Amino acid sequence: MDRERGHEDSDHLQLRAWLRLLTCTNLIETRVRGGLRETWNITLPRFDLLSQLHRAGDDGLTMGDLSRAMMVSAGNVTGLVEALVGEGLVRRTTSAADRRQSRVRLTQAGKRGFEAMLPEHERWIDEAFAGLDRGDLKRLLELLAKLKQSAKAAERGGKEAA
Amino acid sequence: MDRERGHEDSDHLQLRAWLRLLTCTNLIETRVRGGLRETWNITLPRFDLLSQLHRAGDDGLTMGDLSRAMMVSAGNVTGLVEALVGEGLVRRTTSAADRRQSRVRLTQAGKRGFEAMLPEHERWIDEAFAGLDRGDLKRLLELLAKLKQSAKAAERGGKEAA
DNA sequence: GTTAGATACTTTAGACTTAAAGTATCTCGC
DNA sequence: GCGAGATACTTTAAGTCTAAAGTATCTAAC
């Protein structure tokens, strides 16, 4: 038996990693949120929604697509889309094939507006990660990919209960 | 000149790392939030506040300490503490030395309650990180420490603007 | 001692978020 | 065709969160 082994169970590496992950996310999110508000007077969730639509292209996304992509509840998406429609940044049409669905797209104003914000948004992110070199970034990406898979697996495990 | 170099500027490693970081945080946070609600009918911010007080020990923390530790606004802390006082989990006293300050502590019920939740909370975190071995966890902790410093530096840079 | 400014906290208005219940529509077996 | 159940979305109630303005108290220069 390895004398040192006992210690391994009580150094709480997972918990420490989780807390540090949260701290990093909070720091960066606070920076981005503040920048978006000060520079374009837009909120982070609205920016995020525009971003998903921009990535999706001309066909747009359904409400359900948005909910999954943004990892928020369907009710939340309803409110955000309403707000953005009100601001003229987003357009919403009922699907002809399935009248329960609606399809959400950027308007021209929404596309132009989002593309204007994009470079500075990326600059804020780049600044936050400036202390990491390319090797660090690649290792971090790999570890986070692993964590993402692991967390997804745990999520299912928790729901289905074996 | 390295032909490959040009590509380095446009692979958006930082942005990809940020999005993946957010995904991981969301996944784990959703799991923990759901567990806390289903198992003890408590919210994550309240659990977090109890956690900070538990770590602080018998002297408790001021409202400002809590705000900084939890990385949320002072007004937010006011509401959370009120709720927890109402539930009898937390006690609040005005500081004699400085009557602007108050000091917040766990009640006996709060301490017992929190300590009852602690092991299962840690189990959820352990499960989320189960796919990472000790080496992975140590590398992740290191990279996140670096990122934390970097993000803090960027935060200051953004505010002070040289 | 007064007072100008700083500090600790609260209040307010508005936005975000969720879980749960509700509505409308679709699908599929019969 | 016709339900029964599934699916897409909305509504509601309650909680979280922030920025900004406001209150109370302290500090320090004079």
| pLDDT score for A161 | 41
Question: Residues A154, A155, A158, A162: is their CA dihedral positive or negative?
Answer: negative
| pLDDT score for A8 | 61
Round to a whole number and report the distance in Å from the CA of B15 to the C1' of C15: 26
Q: pLDDT for A111-122, tens place per residue?
A: 999 999 999 999
Domain presence at residue A118: yes
Domain presence at residue B6: no
| pLDDT score for B155 | 79
Helix (H) or strand (E) holding A91: strand A90-94
Domain presence at residue A48: yes
The pLDDT > 70 percentage for chain A reads 90
Domain presence at residue A1: no
Q: How many domains does the structure of chain B reveal?
A: 1
**Domain, as residue range, for A82:** 14-157
Q: What is the DSSP letter of B26?
A: H
The pLDDT > 70 percentage for chain B reads 90
Domain presence at residue B85: yes
pLDDT at residue A98 tops 50: yes
Residues 106-125 of chain A with CB under 7 A from strand D are none
Residues of chain B with pLDDT under 70: 1-9, 156-162
| pLDDT score for A155 | 79
Domain presence at residue B10: no
Nearest CB among B25, B149, B158 relative to A22 is that of B25
Q: pLDDT for A29-80, tens place per residue?
A: 999 999 999 999 999 999 999 999 999 999 999 999 999 999 999 999 999 9
DSSP B41-105: ---HHHHHHHHHHHHH-TT-EEHHHHHHHHTS-HHHHHHHHHHHHHTTSEEEEE-SS-TT-EEEE
Q: What is chain A's mean pLDDT, rounded?
A: 91
Domain presence at residue A67: yes
Domain presence at residue A2: no
CATH code: domain of residue A27? 1.10.10.10
